[in-house]
């Protein structure tokens, strides 16, 4: 059997280490995170500025492909109350990018349009369980 | 038939409730007949739910669109196999699959333990039936898979094209098997704690079930990773998405349990810890199911809520509260028999492994639920990205890989210097050789974490290779068998130990693949015209010609139009491979008069990725034909003028079938024009080294798991002998 005092020291040392690591983890998670907003929340915030993860649905008839590989489209809230944000995205879009798809892009609001970082677009997996149209699932 | 379906669900719920009552009554009053009746309820539940599955599957196969689930997720144009799989793409169908798998695996577990742990099994039975009752209640009262449409449509919405992949047939059932299997160790742990019996017999049974759930979930996770890499064009196999994380967390905890339970077995230590791990892993598996259903977190797996959040939160709260209560009130039985002798021992290595696995799980839990945490703390929901996850998980994973080489060879209780020298000389030398090679022969020196991982992996492979070599040599010295035979009989005699070693080998191989492919991947995204070429790493890819198909798409997913490309890949002027990526177009969910051609291809467009895999590298290509946007839908199609022309030449007054026929002829013209005079197309081209090692590592892990789980020959002999003695006793009793 180990000496009780030694065990006590071990316990204190390992607990201190665990607490230190956990606080590092918690600190960095707050420092490294981007706010996740919907188009209406982004517009309500109003100001240009820091990076944001924007989640929304691609609005019908809003996709325009430019020859230089830039894609313009509008993102609306999932609930769909008509509010939408214009998004400018350069680079190749994922396979599932299409009208009506939900997607997440990271970028920042810049002069009224959302300037998305290249390669930041994630389309949602379609294994989606949506509620029935009348809301009664 | 829908009424029959409803009835079956109600019967299933009644069976669950009866079984719980019978098993508990039998246990309380020592009535064996009631306990047996409770056990038979589990079998009965499996039969009843199988009937429910058959009724629903028949509806899918027969295109019975009077069912809401069929109308929403299947269609006449969906190929048969995908109609079968469409069942579990709907929320209600997937819940039925969940509870059906639960009933099947529970029946297997209850059958295997019918003559063992007589005091624990009744409680385990009622816990399993409790889960069954929870899910059948959801199916009866909240989300019936047999719901009917108010008016029957002529065709359904069709299975989402992105799900039309062979993985859809196997990935969800595997993942769900993993999740449901976790209920079994949970049930046995609860039963054992209730009757205060956490002895060797309990460990033997729980460990085997935990290993099975660990294996199923592992296969499910890997299949999901492979699917997202191959089909979905997300360009990677892992993205730290909440739903991926949800599956990984219980897997990590059960990995920890499978290790620490050995310490309980050998030394009678860590009993509270082990009980907590079993209970925690199962609770996390339900948390995973909850994440998938509730839409509480924004995931790329986008489950837009279905009103099932509240019942799941209640279930999770019950599981957590019950687990804590049981562990706290039974802490006397769970007291350790020994304490740690030395920090240089197998116990300490296992303990460190456990701390790291639980730490990994905590990191992932924190990152996954961070949107909710930050919402609660700061008022705005915020997310952490993959770099944050990588920062913590990469170093932890490195230590884990290293430990998987140390654990198997370090001595129990206290390792001496001589022991360390004997066991670690070769592995350390192998790791050293790898480090030298990394900066001279193999060009990986530019990434330090990759070099460290390769060295750790070599360390593991060498230490396990050495164990196999020593074992075989010892066996040969005793039995003078030929080396392969000696190896085989050595593994057969000690399946758990060598099965574990094989799993460690697989993990090392898997991590080599992950490290190499995530660090040394080359990716190009660009638009090419026929005849143009580009460089991707050391490879040259040339767009040779355009291809097109109408209706008969090469991947058999039921696409109406397929536009693709032939790419010729060369390296230093030598031919390497031909890649044929394609984009599939599907019909819109409803066809409008006067837009037949447009609507035949204006549903979702899906990329069919072209992939050439080899042990050295993967060549991956996806295409998106650049055309114009259909103004009616915003969907990309080539040659808009042709589509519009097609629609104007088909008169809206002609009967619908004629219109469709004419539209398909026009589609042929579009396909032809695309082939002859292709517009530029946008390509994503990737060359990634050693990706196949990930899947290969997974297969080795599976092989190791199967080796460990297979009953040893002695146990089978014992069972036969026991059956024989039982027969003799019966005959004697009769005589």
The model's pLDDT over B19-61, given as tens digits with 9 standing for 90+, comes to 999 999 999 999 999 999 999 999 999 999 999 999 999 999 9
| Averaged pLDDT, A38-56 | 81
- Selection from B555, B564, B566, B563 nearest residue B601 by Cα: B563
Query: B605 and A26 in contact by Cβ < 8 A?
Result: no
CB contact at 8 A, B625 and B583: yes
Nearest residue on chain B to A29, alpha-carbon basis: B384
Query: A29 and B629 in contact by Cβ < 8 A?
Result: no
**What percent of chain B lies above the pLDDT cut of 70?**
88
Angle subtended at Cα B123 by Cα B118 and Cα B126, rounded to the nearest 5 degrees: 125
d(CA B302, CA B163): 14
Residue B647's pLDDT is: 65
In the structure, what pLDDT confidence band is assigned to residue A132 with cuts at 50, 70 and 90? very low
Q: Average pLDDT of chain B? A: 86
Query: A99 and B634 in contact by Cβ < 8 A?
Result: yes
Chain A residues in contact with B163 (beta carbon < 8 A): 126-127
> Which phi-psi region, left, alpha or beta, contains residue B591 (left: φ > 0; alpha: ψ -120 to 50)?
beta
Asked if A4 reaches chain B (Cβ–Cβ under 8 Å), the answer is no
Nearest residue on chain B to A124, alpha-carbon basis: B300
CB contact at 8 A, B139 and B55: no
| Helical ranges in B554-655 per DSSP H | 596-600, 640-649
CB contact at 8 A, B459 and B431: yes
In the structure, what pLDDT confidence band is assigned to residue A30 with cuts at 50, 70 and 90? confident
Residue B332's pLDDT is: 86
- Selection from B534, B532, B484 nearest residue B686 by Cα: B534
Angle subtended at Cα B189 by Cα B188 and Cα B191, rounded to the nearest 5 degrees: 60
Query: A7 and B374 in contact by Cβ < 8 A?
Result: no
**For B687, what's the count of Cα atoms within 13 Å in the CB-facing half-sphere?**
17
Most confident of A122-126, B195-199, B350-354, B671-675: B350-354
d(CA B306, CA A137): 6
**For B165, what's the count of Cα atoms within 13 Å in the CB-facing half-sphere?**
25
| Token pair recorded at residue B591 | 């066809």
- Selection from A69, A71, A46, A70 nearest residue A58 by Cα: A71
CB contact at 8 A, A98 and B603: no
Q: Bridge-partner residues for B637, per DSSP?
A: B628
Q: How far is B602 from chain A (nearest CA, A)?
A: 10
Chain B residues in contact with A45 (beta carbon < 8 A): none
pTM: 0.88
Chain B residues in contact with A58 (beta carbon < 8 A): 634
d(CA B33, CA B31): 6
Q: How far is A84 from chain B (nearest CA, A)?
A: 16
Residue pLDDT, tens place only, B388-409: 999 899 999 999 999 999 988 8
CB-CB neighbours of A13 under 10 Å: 10
Asked if A26 reaches chain B (Cβ–Cβ under 8 Å), the answer is yes
State the Rg of chain A over Cα: 22
Asked if A31 reaches chain B (Cβ–Cβ under 8 Å), the answer is no
In the structure, what pLDDT confidence band is assigned to residue B371 with cuts at 50, 70 and 90? confident
CB contact at 8 A, A76 and A55: no
Asked if A66 reaches chain B (Cβ–Cβ under 8 Å), the answer is no
For A28, the closest of B304, B388, B683 (CB atoms) is: B388
Q: Is 50 exceeded by the pLDDT of residue A133?
A: no
**What percent of chain B lies above the pLDDT cut of 90?**
52
**Three-state secondary structure string covering B511-538:** HHHHHHHHHCCEEEEEEECCCCEEEECC
Q: Among residues 70-89 of chain A, which lie with CB inside 8 Å of chain B?
A: 73, 78
Considering only residues A126 and A64, tell me which one the structure prediction assigns the higher pLDDT. A64
Asked if A21 reaches chain B (Cβ–Cβ under 8 Å), the answer is yes
In the structure, what pLDDT confidence band is assigned to residue B257 with cuts at 50, 70 and 90? very high
Query: B300 and A30 in contact by Cβ < 8 A?
Result: no
CB contact at 8 A, A129 and B90: yes
State the Rg of chain B over Cα: 29
Number of separate helices (H) and strands (E) present in chain B: 23, 13
**Largest CA-CA distance found in chain A, in angstroms, rounded:** 75
* A-B Cβ pairs (cutoff 8 Å, strict): 161
Query: A2 and B339 in contact by Cβ < 8 A?
Result: yes
Chain A residues in contact with B143 (beta carbon < 8 A): 137
The contacts of residue B567 (CB under 8 Å, 6+ apart) are: B541, B542, B543, B544, B578, B579, B580, B581, B610, B621, B683, B685
Q: How far is A111 from chain B (nearest CA, A)?
A: 23
Task: Find which of B303, B368, B383, B630 to mutate to test the A interface (most A CBs within 10 Å of its CB).
Answer: B383
Residue pLDDT, tens place only, B469-528: 999 999 998 888 888 999 998 998 889 999 999 999 999 999 999 999 988 989 888 888
Asked if A128 reaches chain B (Cβ–Cβ under 8 Å), the answer is yes
Q: Among residues 91-120 of chain A, which lie with CB inside 8 Å of chain B?
A: 91-96, 98-99, 101-102, 104, 106
Q: How far is A41 from chain B (nearest CA, A)?
A: 10
Query: B385 and A32 in contact by Cβ < 8 A?
Result: yes
Q: Is 70 exceeded by the pLDDT of residue B719?
A: no
Asked if A61 reaches chain B (Cβ–Cβ under 8 Å), the answer is yes
Query: A34 and B382 in contact by Cβ < 8 A?
Result: yes
């Amino acid at each position: 059997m180990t000496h009780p005092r030694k065990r006590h020291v071990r316990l204190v040392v390992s607990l201190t280490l665990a607490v230190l690591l956990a606080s590092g983890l918690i600190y960095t998670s707050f420092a490294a995170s981007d706010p996740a907003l919907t188009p209406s929340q982004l517009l309500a915030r109003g100001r240009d500025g820091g990076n944001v993860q924007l989640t929304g649905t691609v609005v019908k008839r809003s996709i325009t492909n430019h020859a230089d590989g830039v894609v313009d489209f509008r993102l609306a809230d999932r609930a769909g109350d008509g509010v939408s944000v214009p998004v400018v995205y350069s680079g190749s879009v994922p396979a599932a990018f299409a009208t009506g798809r939900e997607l997440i892009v990271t970028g920042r609001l810049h002069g009224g349009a959302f300037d998305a970082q290249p390669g930041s677009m994630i389309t949602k997996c379609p294994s989606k369980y949506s509620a029935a149209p009348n809301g009664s699932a | 038939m829908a009424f029959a379906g409803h009835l079956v669900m109600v019967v299933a719920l009644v069976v669950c409730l009866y079984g719980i009552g019978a098993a508990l009554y039998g246990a309380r009053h020592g009535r064996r007949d009631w306990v047996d009746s409770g056990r038979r309820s589990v079998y009965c539940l499996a039969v009843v739910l199988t009937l429910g599955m058959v009724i629903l599957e028949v509806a899918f196969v027969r295109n019975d669109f009077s069912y809401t689930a069929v109308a929403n997720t299947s269609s006449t144009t969906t190929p048969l196999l995908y109609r079968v799989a469409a069942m579990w793409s709907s929320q209600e169908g997937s819940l039925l699959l969940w509870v059906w798998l639960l009933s099947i695996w529970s029946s297997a577990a209850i059958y295997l333990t019918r003559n063992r742990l007589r005091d624990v099994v009744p409680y385990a039975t009622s816990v399993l039936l409790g889960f069954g009752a929870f899910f059948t209640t959801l199916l009866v009262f909240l989300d019936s898979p047999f719901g009917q449409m108010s008016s029957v449509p002529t065709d359904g919405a069709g299975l989402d094209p992105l799900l039309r992949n062979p993985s859809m047939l196997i990935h969800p059932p595997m993942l769900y098997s993993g999740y449901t299997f976790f209920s079994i160790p949970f049930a046995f742990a609860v039963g054992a704690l209730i009757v205060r019996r956490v002895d060797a017999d309990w460990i033997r049974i729980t460990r085997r079930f935990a290993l099975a759930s660990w294996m199923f979930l592992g296969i499910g996770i890997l299949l999901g990773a492979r699917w997202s890499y191959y089909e979905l064009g997300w360009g990677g196999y892992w993205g730290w998405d909440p739903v991926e994380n949800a599956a990984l967390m219980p897997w990590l905890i059960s990995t920890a349990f499978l290790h620490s339970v050995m310490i309980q077995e050998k030394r009678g230590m860590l009993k509270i810890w082990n009980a907590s791990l079993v209970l925690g892993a199962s609770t996390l598996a339900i948390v995973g199911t909850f994440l998938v259903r509730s839409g509480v977190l924004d995931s790329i797996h986008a489950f837009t809520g279905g009103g099932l959040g509240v019942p799941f939160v209640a279930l999770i709260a019950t599981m957590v509260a019950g687990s804590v209560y049981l562990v706290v009130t039974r802490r006397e039985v769970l007291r350790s028999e020994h304490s740690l002798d030395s920090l240089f021992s197998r116990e300490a290595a296992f303990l460190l492994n456990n701390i790291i696995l639980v730490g990994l799980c905590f990191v992932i839990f924190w990152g996954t639920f961070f949107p909710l945490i930050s919402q609660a703390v700061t008022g705005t929901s915020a997310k952490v990205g993959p770099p944050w996850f990588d920062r913590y998980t990469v170093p932890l994973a490195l230590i884990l890989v290293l430990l998987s080489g140390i654990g198997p060879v370090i001595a129990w209780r206290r390792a001496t210097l001589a022991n360390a020298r004997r066991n670690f000389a070769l592995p350390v030398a192998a790791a050293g050789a790898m480090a030298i090679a990394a900066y001279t022969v193999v060009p990986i020196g530019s990434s330090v974490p990759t070099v460290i991982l390769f060295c750790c992996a070599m360390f593991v492979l060498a230490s396990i290779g050495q164990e196999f070599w020593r074992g075989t040599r010892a066996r040969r010295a005793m039995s003078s068998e030929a080396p392969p035979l000696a190896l085989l009989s050595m593994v057969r005699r000690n399946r758990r130990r060598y099965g574990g070693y094989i799993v460690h080998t697989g993990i090392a191989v898997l991590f080599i693949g992950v490290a190499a492919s995530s660090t040394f991947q080359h990716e190009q995204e660009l638009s090419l015209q026929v005849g143009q070429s580009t460089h991707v790493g050391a490879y040259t890819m040339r767009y040779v010609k355009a291809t097109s198909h109408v209706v008969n798409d090469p991947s058999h997913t039921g696409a109406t139009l397929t536009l693709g490309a032939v790419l010729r890949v060369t390296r230093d002027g030598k031919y390497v491979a031909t890649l044929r990526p394609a984009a599939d177009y599907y019909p819109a969910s409803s066809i409008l008069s006067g837009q037949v051609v447009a609507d035949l291809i204006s549903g979702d467009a899906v990329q069919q990725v072209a992939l050439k895999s080899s042990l050295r590298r993967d060549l991956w290509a996806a295409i998106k034909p650049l055309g114009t946007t259909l103004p009616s839908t915003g969907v990309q199609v080539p040659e808009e003028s042709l589509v519009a022309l097609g629609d104007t030449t088909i008169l809206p007054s002609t009967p619908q079938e004629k219109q469709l026929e004419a539209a398909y002829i026009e589609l042929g013209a579009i396909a032809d024009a695309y082939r002859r005079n292709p517009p530029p197309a946008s390509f994503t081209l990737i060359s990634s080294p050693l990706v196949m090692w990930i899947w290969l590592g997974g297969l080795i892990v599976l092989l190791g798991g199967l080796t460990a789980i297979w009953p040893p020959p002695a146990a089978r002999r014992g069972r036969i002998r026991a059956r024989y003695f039982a027969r003799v006793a019966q005959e004697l009793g009769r005589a």
